Amino acid sequence: MNKAVLGVDVGGTNIQIGIVSETGTIVNSKKYRMNIDSQEKAITAIIESIDDFTQNADSLIAIGIGLVGHVNAEKGVWESAINIPISTPVPLANLLSEKMNMPVYLDNDVNAATLAEMNWGIGRQTTNFIYVNVGTGIGMGIVEKSELFRGSTNYAGEVGHMYIGQIKEGFGDGYLETICSGGGMIKQALEGLKMYPNSILSSYHQEGHLHSSTIFHAAENGDPLATIIADQAIEGLAIGMTNIVNLFNPEHLVFGGGMFNNKSLIENIRQYVNEHALPVARNSLKGITITNLNHNDVGLLGAASIAWLNQECL
Amino acid sequence: MNKAVLGVDVGGTNIQIGIVSETGTIVNSKKYRMNIDSQEKAITAIIESIDDFTQNADSLIAIGIGLVGHVNAEKGVWESAINIPISTPVPLANLLSEKMNMPVYLDNDVNAATLAEMNWGIGRQTTNFIYVNVGTGIGMGIVEKSELFRGSTNYAGEVGHMYIGQIKEGFGDGYLETICSGGGMIKQALEGLKMYPNSILSSYHQEGHLHSSTIFHAAENGDPLATIIADQAIEGLAIGMTNIVNLFNPEHLVFGGGMFNNKSLIENIRQYVNEHALPVARNSLKGITITNLNHNDVGLLGAASIAWLNQECL
């Protein structure tokens, strides 16, 4: 077997572990339960899952781990997280590399997905791109000259906290994540139901399927509250991405995340950027596209990319 | 004499030329008139000025030229400009290096000023910073790991075109440059005078000294129109810079430009960023300061920096 790395994608519910080849093929993978009862239990769950998975694995040359929260990639330290109770920095890379006897690298999940794009996605066409994931929240990775732009503490790309002002007749506090993310849209809906108690979103909520996709669906069917929320999400994302094009002058803008199941969203962003971005920035932009990477694989491919990135440096 | 470079700072009115040492000392400099009647006359004015200045200069090893508009720094081509009528790309670096028999490098004026900061300003303390110039317009340069972040066509940093929404009770279209730049503030004032014909800004306008500084002064004296414009400029800049801190995660944020003659502005930005930026981004930020570089020298130092930057690569 050719040499491969282990990718470990740590989420609040599951830990997905898999062997990934240099060409981005997932050779073998398995899902484990995450434990978020305490920091200690979370770390133990990660270590034990890796331990179990690697019983039958050979040819591994490195491990890459994708984590939520603030990660010091250089030092291999998981600094903090909110969904998973990490309150004291954990030197997870050192801890695991001693145990596993191979190099271990960490990064946050958005940088990981961006590296997957660089290796096996849009990076095949360009060395300068922005990756934006719009799901429950909004995350962004920045690549220039085939390198991640990390900022001073590996925290660059917090586009969800970009203030773009109130959307006319909309709800919310003017931040991109509040207006445009899945989680934000649900919050807007719950808030809006006070003013629109007869909205279909009320039954969706009671039935437990109030999501961005059902809000978009209700908007298409003319529900007034859903229409406000859907419109402001679409407009907000278009404004936000135009800011990003003007600020970063990327060659490609590539999107991932559940929000783009709504097919009109990408077309709307293309049109708005085309009309509102600065001419030079707009003309330099070769594409606004949805990722080709499979939604279910991107976490694992991203985690593996962290390891592959560092292998190339060795 | 030690080796030195020639810095050429090209503006719409003047061309400033000077000899700059590796430590950032301006050995000798002279101002020439710019000609913006046509593209041909503009290029001729630049060439003749350099020709004249270098009659008595020796020890020069390279020339750096700072230009307005869109510059392809890699190819040494002045692609386009608006204030100066450049409508066809000019291969100015090649043109001049043949004539002057030494390497010639170009870049835009904001990147140039940012490089001056990197060499002789905030760059002495950090390798990751953002430089924002607020004068007639707003420009931004991004430095990560002591390198300029240029984007795909050397056009990154167009923060003036960042949309941040309407400021409550303010005027304007929601773009940072309209709200916060000197030019934008004057436009807001002229627009606002229709609603506030008795404002002191009306006399300032007639007397020909309607500037950001006089608007700030009138606001301090309680003029209602000036107060609206000053307040929205201060708030807008604070919001905009908070977005920048969240997006770029810099270690230092350094400001230049005439707007910062208003002493309360920087303090207001510090306070707002401290209250509104994300905790990790805020804690990574070591300083929000005004540049130490002399306002009158920065154009020349910037132009020279373009040449020094490339010397180091040789």
Instruction: State the average pLDDT over residues B225-246.
Output: 97
Q: Which of residues 245-284 of A touch B (CB under 8 A)?
A: 246-251, 277-278, 280-281, 284
Q: Identify the pLDDT of residue B312.
A: 62
Confidence of residue B57 (pLDDT cuts 50, 70, 90): confident
Q: For chains A and B, what is the number of CB pairs under 8 angstroms?
A: 123
Instruction: State the average pLDDT over residues A32-44.
Output: 97
Which segments within chain A are labelled E, that is strand?
4-10, 14-21, 26-33, 60-67, 70-72, 77-80, 104-108, 129-134, 138-144, 147-148, 252-256, 287-290
B9 CB burial (10 A radius; 0-12, 13-18, 19+): buried
Query: Has residue A91 got a pLDDT over 80?
Result: yes
* Six-digit token string for A108: 């946050």
Report helix angle B224-248 to B263-276, nearest 10.
Answer: 50
Tell me the residue length of chain B.
314
Q: Identify the pLDDT of residue A311.
A: 83
Which residue in chain A is spatially nearest to B163 when comparing CA positions?
A164
Query: Has residue B267 got a pLDDT over 80?
Result: yes
Question: Is B284 close to A153, i.e. CB distance below 8 A?
Answer: yes
* Six-digit token string for A45: 């769950």
Beta strand pairing status for A147-148 and A4-10?
unpaired
Do B227 and B185 meet the contact criterion of CB atoms below 8 Å apart? Answer: no
Question: Is B154 close to A239, i.e. CB distance below 8 A?
Answer: no
Instruction: State the average pLDDT over residues B209-234.
Output: 96
Confidence of residue A101 (pLDDT cuts 50, 70, 90): very high
Tell me the residue length of chain A.
314
pLDDT in tens, B78-99: 999 988 999 999 999 999 999 9
Residue ranges of domains in chain A, CATH in brackets? 4-116+296-313 (3.30.420.40), 125-292 (3.30.420.40)
Query: Has residue B313 got a pLDDT over 60?
Result: no
Confidence of residue B189 (pLDDT cuts 50, 70, 90): very high
Instruction: State the average pLDDT over residues B25-31.
Output: 95
Question: Which of residues A168 and A108 earns the better pLDDT score?
Answer: A108
pLDDT in tens, A167-224: 877 788 999 999 999 999 999 999 999 999 999 999 999 999 999 999 999 999 999 9
Supply the mean pLDDT for chain A: 95
Query: Has residue A57 got a pLDDT over 60?
Result: yes
Which residue in chain B is spatially nearest to A141 when comparing CA positions?
B247
Instruction: State the average pLDDT over residues B26-34.
Output: 96
Supply the mean pLDDT for chain B: 95
Residues 6+ apart with CB under 8 A from A145: A127, A128
Query: Has residue B202 got a pLDDT over 90?
Result: yes
